[in-house]
Amino acid sequence: MAHPLNDFEDNGLLKPGHYSLQVGAPGPESLKKIADYLDDASKKLREQHRFEESLQYGVVPGTHSVREAIAQFLTRQYGQPVERDDLFVTSGASSGVEVLMKHYFTQEQYIFAENPTYPVFAMSINKDQVMKGVPIPIESDGLNLKVLEEKLKELPETKLTPRRPFRAAVYLIPTHHNPTGCCYSPEKCNKLVKLARKYDVLIICDDVYNVLSYKADVSVPGKFEYSPQRLFAYDRKTDPDYKGNIISNGSFAKIVAPGLRMGWYEAPTHVITSLQDCYLANSGSGQTYYVAHLVAEALKSGSIDNHVQMLRTKHKERMDVAISTVEENLSKYGVTITHPEGGYFLWVKLPENMDSAKILELSKERENVTFVKGNLASICGDFSNHIRLCIAYYEVDDIRKGVEGLCRVIKSVLEK
């Protein structure tokens, strides 16, 4: 039999007794609950005689009622207003980025990205060559803006038109970053918006973890603080020099279910208008139309708000266990970690000359533990002494066992 192509095919590495800590997806317990919510949502669609409507080609940015349900959900989850008319339903965040790159740019144009960044983005930008990828270092409060501006100054002159209003793109994950877990400071967000306007660049923010803050709200037991404000909100329409340079590229993959393949853009009006005239829209009409109706019903019922609250509680517990296990076992050897306050990932830095590829080989062989090697999260292959661990897929006991196994392997190599 051929080898599985990924972790999910044929159960791949997701076998009992294996700890596949590279998997950035919700776990089976979470999806079981989602299956029930979507079942109820489906019944409601039927009762309202809107099931058939959802099976037709549809309104390009998404039906009013669907966009309204998403806007209300995000307003509750962000603690900040989200306008229905700023939303455009997509087939998820990966598709969302690719559509924007192809719609606005050519293969000769540049896309700047954090170093490290989302591993699949890093791998694909080199392989697919949809645009030319340029890594920019990231600090604990966001991108190194000095380096970014130096690069922006070197951009070739481009004739801008209403169809092609940007000279380059910047791809960011400003909230609960994948893989470092960091969030951008308000100061960096303000400066980024200014740079985007000055150099006419489009900033695409993968906002897929933004509602998954697990920073405790000390004033209300059991509650969590909102995640920091998304970059899109810093691009104020009332500013005299507003042009509309930021897109929030959201997804339901991490908070509802990846298999739905549904997300949204929160975008400037000129972007929403422009996208209605692309091939996908003209030929394909509304994206993921049936799923969007189903998800909207679930959002209206409040079940997804409750689900997100449950995820935050569980993720906090799992992240705390992962952090304390690494610190108790490895701090004395100079291994350091980030301390994320939301999202899926823990970023582990091994001593300088240690290679995570070797650790992966050993941990797979001895402990059935796998993870993402740090260099995969870099367009230029940096971070070979880093490890990305995901805390979202497994329940807390398995997170503990998996991370303990990994620590044993690292310790044995360090003590050699």
Ligand X SMILES: Cc1ncc(COP(=O)(O)O)c(C=O)c1O
Find the shortest distance in angstroms from Cβ 416 to ligand X: 34
∠ CA 104-107-109 to the nearest 5 degrees?
Answer: 70
Q: Which CA distances in Å does 398 have to 27, 31, 340, 343?
A: 12, 17, 20, 18
The smaller minimum CB distance to ligand X, of residues 199 and 252, is found at 252
Q: Quote the radius of gyration of the chain (alpha carbons, Å).
A: 21
Give backbone dihedrals phi and psi of 213, rounded to 5 degrees, phi first: -75, 135
Indicate the residue among 288 and 325 with the shorter CB distance to ligand X. 288
Are β-strands 87-90 and 263-266 bridged in parallel, bridged antiparallel, or unpaired? antiparallel
H-state helical runs in 79-233: 93-104, 119-128, 145-153, 186-199
Closer to ligand X at the Cβ: 173 or 360? 173
Least CB distance to ligand X at residue 117 (A)? 8
Q: Compare residues 23 and 189 and give the one whose CB is closer to ligand X.
A: 23
CB 75 → ligand X: shortest distance, Å?
Answer: 21
CA distances from 322 to 184, 235, 339, 375 (A): 23, 36, 10, 21
Give the three-class secondary structure for 222.
Answer: coil
Q: For residues 193 and 372, which CB has a smaller minimum distance to ligand X in the complex?
A: 372
DSSP 382: -
CA gap 183, 43 in Å, rounded: 39
* Cβ pair 198, 241 in contact under 8 A: no
347, 386 Cβ separation under 8 angstroms: yes
CA distance 340 to 329: 19
- Using the minimum distance from each CB to ligand X, give the nearer residue, 251 or 410: 251
Q: Which residues pair with 19 in a beta bridge?
A: 369
Instruction: State in angstroms the smallest separation of the CB of 362 from ligand X.
Output: 26
> Based on CB atoms, which residue is closest to ligand X, 195 or 212?
212
Q: How far is the CB of 163 from ligand X (least distance, A)?
A: 26
Closest separation in Å from C-beta 125 to ligand X:
13
Angle between helix 303-330 and helix 28-47 axes, rounded to 10 deg: 170
351-360 contacts, C-beta under 8 A, 24 or more apart:
351/385, 351/414, 352/385, 353/385, 354/385, 354/410, 354/413, 354/414, 355/384, 355/385, 356/384, 356/385, 356/386, 356/387, 357/384, 358/413, 359/387, 359/406, 359/409, 359/410, 359/413
Nearer to ligand X, 92 or 407 (CB): 92
Binding residues (CB under 6 A) for ligand X: these are 24, 92-94, 118, 173, 178, 206, 208, 251, 253, 258, 263
Min dist. Cβ of residue 393 to ligand X (A):
11
Smallest gap from Cβ 96 to ligand X, in A, equals 7
Nearer to ligand X, 91 or 367 (CB): 91
Q: Which is nearer to ligand X, 294 or 330 (CB)?
A: 294
CA dihedral 278→283→285→289, nearest 10 degrees, is -120
Angstrom distances, CA of residue 367 to CA of 20, 63, 141, 194, 298? 11, 49, 35, 49, 40
User: Minimum Å distance from CB 252 to ligand X?
Assistant: 7
Minimum CB separation of residue 217 from ligand X in Å reads 25
Nearest residue (CB) to ligand X, 19 versus 118? 118
Shortest distance (Å) from residue 329 CB to ligand X: 27
Amino acid type, 187: E
Structure tokens at 145: 């803006």
